Amino acid sequence: QDIHIIQLDNGAFHFSQHLQIPENIILLFQPPHTPQVNPIERLWEEIKRHLAWESFGTLDELRQFIWRRLEKLNTSIVASITGWDFILDALFESNFS
C-alpha cells in the first residue's frame, strides 16, 4: 500500500523497454546534468562535511568512519537532508492519487 518514489538521473541504463514497474513505484527522472537535485548527492555532501579535517591511515579506517556517520542517520534526518517540495509538486501536477 506504500507509494515509493525513485529518483533517477537520465542515464541510458535507467531506461528499458522490458522493465515492469509495480503500480506503487513512481520513477521521477531528474533533468540532465543536475546532480544538485539528486538526493544521494546531498546525503554524501552531509557525510563529506564531517570528513573535512580527518586523516585516515587505511581505507578500512575511512570505511569505519563512514559507517559510523551513516549509523547516526535516522529517517527524519535523511528526509530533512534529501527532501524537496519539487517532488510533491511533481506528483500533484501529474494528478497522481
Instruction: For the chain, report the end-to-end CA distance as a whole number of angstroms.
Output: 12
What percent of the chain stands above pLDDT 90?
Answer: 19
Over residues 83-90, the mean pLDDT reads: 69
| Phi, psi (deg, nearest 5) at residue 86 | -65, -25
Question: How high is the pLDDT of residue 70?
Answer: 92
Question: How high is the pLDDT of residue 18?
Answer: 79
- Cell numbers for 55, please give them: 586523516
**Between residues 29 and 23, the one the model is more confident about:** 23
The residue count of the chain comes to 97
CA distances from 63 to 59, 82, 86, 92 (A): 6, 22, 33, 40
Q: Which residues pair with 29 in a beta bridge?
A: 8
pLDDT at 45 over 80: yes
pLDDT at 94 over 70: no
